[in-house]
Amino acid sequence: MSPKYDRILLKLSGEALMGEQNYGIDTKVAAALAAEIKTVHQLGVEVAIVVGGGNIFRGVSESAGNMDRAAADYIGMLATIMNAVVLQDALEKADVFTRVMSAIDIPELAEPFIHRRAIRHLEKKRVVIFAAGTGNPFFTTDSAAALRALEIKADVIFKATKVDGSSMQTP
Ligand code: UDP
């Protein structure tokens, strides 16, 4: 049976990596997520992931206090890079080849996001993890998921989150 979708984009919110904790990363949860992603990938589905950062920092949050919004949002984007590296580690431990592509240049850790290169990675059956959202403040990683899904021509976007969208506040 061939899979329904050839190429998918999974939006993984930061909270999805938190497990039962109130903050941060539970590596056991990351391992469990990696195992599920591997199952899908093994079906032959090309998988791209946009990872959030809300488990560590959000631009619009109490922890940001009265920080300048753009500065706080950049910290939020850095949080997504940390999550991306955790997820990469978990996937590689499960023998899934991955690439992290960041919208903010951080060459020691991740490749820069280059649209055609991202597609090439997917064609080569690497799981691509998009980090740093859109690279712009005043956006969220949900916007990044929509943007990247269009750029890589994903068949569908799946969103895994614990955040109740109906209660989300606008800035
Ligand atoms: N962020 C941003 N631009 C983006 C993506 C994210 O400024 O393109 C910042 C923003 O402060 C956001 C934080 O990064 O609150 C973490 O992302 P998000 O809240 O979307 O994470 P999630 O809710 O998915 O865990």
The CATH number covering residue 90 comes to: 3.40.1160.10
In whole angstroms, give the CA distance from residue 70 to residue 73: 5
Kindly give the distance from the C-alpha atom of residue 140 to the centroid of ligand 1, in angstroms, as a whole number: 4
User: Does the structure show a pLDDT above 80 at 104?
Assistant: yes
Q: Report yes or no on 100 lying in a domain.
A: yes
Could you tell me the pLDDT band of residue 151, with boundaries at 50, 70 and 90? very high
The structural domain count of the chain equals 1
In whole angstroms, give the CA distance from residue 80 to residue 2: 33
Name which residue sits closest to atom 12 of ligand 1, judged by CA. 58
pLDDT for 166: 56
Helix axes 141-151, 115-123, angle to 10 degrees: 70
pLDDT for 163: 64
Query: CB neighbours (10 Å) of residue 63?
Result: 12
pLDDT for 171: 45
Q: Report yes or no on 165 lying in a domain.
A: no
Kindly give the distance from the C-alpha atom of residue 43 to the centroid of ligand 1, in angstroms, as a whole number: 30
Q: Report yes or no on 39 lying in a domain.
A: yes
Q: Report yes or no on 36 lying in a domain.
A: yes
Q: Is the entire prediction scored with pTM above 0.85? A: yes
Sign of CA dihedral 68, 69, 74, 77: positive
Q: Report yes or no on 169 lying in a domain.
A: no
The mean of the pLDDT values for the chain is 94
Residues of the domain holding 113: 7-160
Q: Report yes or no on 137 lying in a domain.
A: yes
**Ligand 1 neighbourhood includes 26 CB (under 6 angstroms):** no
**Ligand 1 neighbourhood includes 77 CB (under 6 angstroms):** yes
pLDDT for 1: 73
Tens digits of per-residue pLDDT, 31-88? 999 999 999 999 999 999 999 999 999 999 888 999 999 999 999 999 999 999 999 9
